[in-house]
Chains A and B, each alone.
Chain A
Amino acid sequence: MPTTAKHTTIQKGFGPAIISSEVKNHADDPFVIKKVAKARETLKRVGLPDIKKK
C-alpha cells in the first residue's frame, strides 16, 4: 500500500478518501473499545427503529 504525504486542503463537494498507510486501525484503542461497549449496551436495550414509526 503506498504511503501518501498528508496535508490539509479544503475541497468542495463529495469525494473519495485518500489511501495512506500511515492511518492506523485504532480498533483496539481503549477509547474505541469503550465507545463500542456503550453502543452495544444501548442497542441491546433499545434495538433498532421500527421503520413504521417514520
Chain B
Amino acid sequence: MTFPVKLNDYWMKLKRYNYYTNDYQAYEFYSEGPKGHIRKLVIFTKVPDTEPPIYNLAFSDARADTGELDDAVISNNEDRDIVLATVANTIATFCDHYGNHYIYAEGSTASRTRLYQMGIAGLWPEISTDFDVYGLKENDWQAFKPYGVNYDAFLVKRK
C-alpha cells in the first residue's frame, strides 16, 4: 500500500504508537506506561444532517474489565504526547480515506476538553502547518490560539 500523504517534516520527529483499523473509521492502539497496557480507541462518525459533512471524533479508553468505552477514565500513563501524536495520525489517515472533512471534537467534561486543548497546543507547530483548527468560544468558532483561551470544542480540517 502506498501512503499518499506527505505531512511536513515536523511530524518526522514525533513519536507515536502503531495503530490498527478495519474500516478507517475506528482505530485502536495501546498506551504503554507505568499503569500498564491500556487500549485506546479513536472513532470517526458522520454527524447526521450536516452539509458539508462533519465527522465527530470520539476518543476513549476501553475499560479493562468490561471493554466498554469510557472517556471519563484518566489513565495517567505518562505518555500523553505519544498518545496525542497517535490521535493526530489517525485524523490524517481518516482524511486520506474519506476526504478532508471537518472533524469535531469535544471532551465529555470541561477538564477533558482542556486536556485536548493542551494536546493540540503541545503539537501546534506540527498541527498548524497541516490543519486548520478552530476553537468554540461563547457559541462562536474562532481561529485556534494555543494559549490564553479555554475552548468548549474544536473543529479541525486538513488544508
B14 interfacial contact with A, CB 8 Å = yes
Q: How many residues of B contact A (CB 8 A)?
A: 61
* A-side contacts of B89, CB under 8 Å: 14-15, 17
Q: Which B1-59 residues have C-beta < 8 A from chain A? A: 1, 3, 5, 7, 11-30, 32, 37, 41, 43, 45, 47-50, 52, 54, 56, 58
* A-side contacts of B45, CB under 8 Å: 27, 32, 35-36
Total A-B contacts with CB atoms under 8 angstroms apart: 156
Residue ID in chain A nearest B138 by CB atoms: A46
Q: Which A1-39 residues have C-beta < 8 A from chain B? A: 1, 4, 6-27, 29, 31-32, 35-36, 38-39
Q: How many residues of A contact B (CB 8 A)?
A: 42
- A17 pairs with B134, CB closer than 8 A: no
Q: Which of A11, A26, A44, A46 has the most CB of B within 10 A?
A: A26
Q: Knowing A27-B43, A40-B49, A46-B140 touch, does A20 contact B20 (C-beta < 8 A)? A: yes
